[in-house]
Chains A and B, each alone.
Chain A
Amino acid sequence: MSQAATEIVRISGHAGAVPGAGLNREYQVCKLVDTTTCIGCKACEVACLEWNGYTFSETTFDNTYQTMPETSWNYWNLIKFNEHEREDGSMMLLMRKDQCMHCEDPGCLAACPADGAIVQYANGIVDFQEQHCIGCGYCITGCPFNIPKFSPAAHKVFKCTLCSDRVSQGLEPACIKACPTGCLHFGTKPEMKELAETRAQQLREHSGYPDAGVYDPPGVGGTHVIYVLHDAKNPERYGGLPKDPHIPVSVQLWKHPLKWLGNLALVGGVFGLAWHYMRYGQKKEEHLPPDDGRRV
């Protein structure tokens, strides 16, 4: 992403072609989370907190490995632990690193009314610009993944940045850096997609997971965080990963047909009333009561 600004396409007084110009650079970044090799160590959570300057949040105990129910405004990255019973009765622990999915078609951005509070970079990262956030919480409504979280102290909403600050400097996100099993990968979208598909195929053909697949939901135009799942047919099992996420229908109705209908009605109303005034004029108190003047 940062390199895009310094990539040379024309050179003055230069004989011949521009070296390197016209190469099809891929700027779209992607994080790949392979849930099948995650051990739930939470190193990614700690790395996230460290890099972003937050302290560890208080944990809650609910008889499972789950340390807290969901991400929060100062805890952007959380492993969701789900105990799943296989058909033969044996237990399987499904672990999914939950964070912002960085949708290609972000619902938070569509719902946001504040100028510049949410931006999408050319590399696909969807970033909140808190200095422009007004704290209305519409992004919470627009998100199909339950990611934006409101800070009662700041009256603003926060979420994972996919380490946009690190990525802009050519570094990989902090969580990737910390993963000890290599279940987290970071690269360009096509590269990650290919790696994920290869892994899913391996799981299907050699590891006894016939339903293994890649989670890159088309309902939100694909995401810049993709998962390899043992059972891609039931993503809900992985801590409520939606099967077919999309921007909520009511948000779409609100931002498209209602907006144009409403604007048309408002402008039409003003013109309609002005027309009425010019056509019919004022209502005047012309009539005097018949007993007027006759009364004592």
Chain B
Amino acid sequence: MSTHAVSRSTAAGQNDEMIPRYTLGERVNHWIAALAYAYLLITGLAFWSPYLFWLAAIVGGGAVARFWHPWLGLIFSLSMFWMFGEWRCDMQADDSDCVWFKNIRYYIQNEDDKLPPVGRFNYGQKLFFWGMFYSVILLLLSGVALWYTEALPWSLRYVRYAAILIHASVALITIGLFMIHVYMSVFLEEGSLRAMIHGAVTRAWAWTFHRKWYEAVSGVSRSKQ
């Protein structure tokens, strides 16, 4: 956790002190995943409905979209697996998450002070992570079957039948997760987007939304000083 230690006080004073939250690697990987997902979303929606087929024109037409969609899916999957390696431990649910989830209405109503203090990630973020992780596995497996759909012999046509349904259903689930994710980080929670771009959060932000994490990282800092 040394990378998340409280940075040294600046000349501007304690209140401007920023706490590192995401390493450069985490941020770069996140934005690779984000761009890949944006492409997959645009092209996927084009294949999903005739009323959205015009979206394919944005990226060069249907045939071009069909060619690149699987490759970007591969990049998104690799990015997701990297996140799995990096965040797996931080994303494990603990006992307080159970209490948090039972009181999720306070989270929805923006009464975060009524919730138990959370660590580096809250249970909602953990659900998002694991939702995306397992979705990516299903999308990758069904996606490969759709990528080289013509290579499947007639005797294995049921693989195609399953893949087409799984790919669309799971993609819809990820779109739901994605919408909530973007809404929360861009619009709802002040400071979240800044954290994923610049990598640091204010002490107040850490205290308000991730108190256990704040205490852990500032504790490390105190022992160092």
Contact = CB atoms under 8 A, between A and B. Distances in A.
Contact of A250 (B46, B48, B161, B172): B161
Contacts of B14: 292-293, 295
A141 B203 contact: no
Interface in A158-207: none
A150 B150 contact: yes
Interface in A102-153: 111, 113-115, 132-138, 140-141, 146, 149-150, 152
Given A113-B47, A270-B179, A292-B15, A285 B191 contact: yes
A266 interface: yes
Interface stretch (A3-11, A50-58, A253-261): A253-261
B189 interface: yes
A125 to B, nearest CB: 22
A70 interface: yes
Contact of A289 (B62, B180, B191, B214): B214
Interface string B180-202: 10010001111100000000001
Interface stretch (A40-48, A213-221, A272-280): A272-280
Nearest to A157: B150
A243 interface: no
A146 B154 contact: yes
B30 interface: no
Contacts of A115: 50, 53, 62
Given A134-B63, A281-B110, A283-B110, A113 B48 contact: yes
Contact of B205 (A138, A285, A296): A285
A155 B175 CA distance: 28
A263 B183 CA distance: 19
Contacts of A136: 47, 62, 66, 146, 149
B2 interface: no
B183 A254 contact: no
B208 A285 contact: yes
Contacts of A280: 108-110
A137 B160 CA distance: 10
Nearest to B63: A134
A218 B207 CA distance: 67
A282 B189 contact: yes
A21 interface: no
B48 A262 contact: yes
Contact of A287 (B61, B154, B207, B222): B207
Contacts of B160: 140-141
Contacts of B222: 295
Contacts of B26: none
A285 B209 contact: yes
Number of contact residues on B: which range applies? Answer: 35 or more
A248 B96 CA distance: 46
A135 B68 CA distance: 12
Contacts of A293: 14-15
A14 interface: no
B113 interface: yes
Nearest to A293: B14
A68 interface: no
B225 to A, nearest CB: 8
A16 to B, nearest CB: 47
B23 interface: no
A273 B154 CA distance: 44
A87 B175 CA distance: 58
A282 B50 contact: no
Interface stretch (B76-84, B127-135, B163-171): B163-171
Given A265-B172, A292-B203, A293-B14, A273 B49 contact: no
Nearest to A144: B157
Contacts of B214: 289
B165 A258 contact: yes
Contacts of B218: 289
Nearest to B180: A273
Contacts of A132: 62
20 contacts: A111-B164, A113-B62, A114-B62, A115-B53, A132-B62, A133-B63, A134-B65, A136-B66, A137-B146, A140-B150, A141-B160, A141-B161, A146-B154, A248-B157, A250-B162, A273-B183, A276-B188, A282-B187, A283-B188, A295-B14
The 8 lowest CB-CB distance pairs between A and B, nearest first, are: A134-B62, A150-B150, A137-B149, A250-B161, A285-B205, A289-B207, A250-B165, A134-B63
Given A288-B204, A289-B207, A295-B14, 8 more contacts: A115-B62, A138-B47, A254-B168, A262-B172, A287-B207, A288-B203, A292-B15, A295-B222
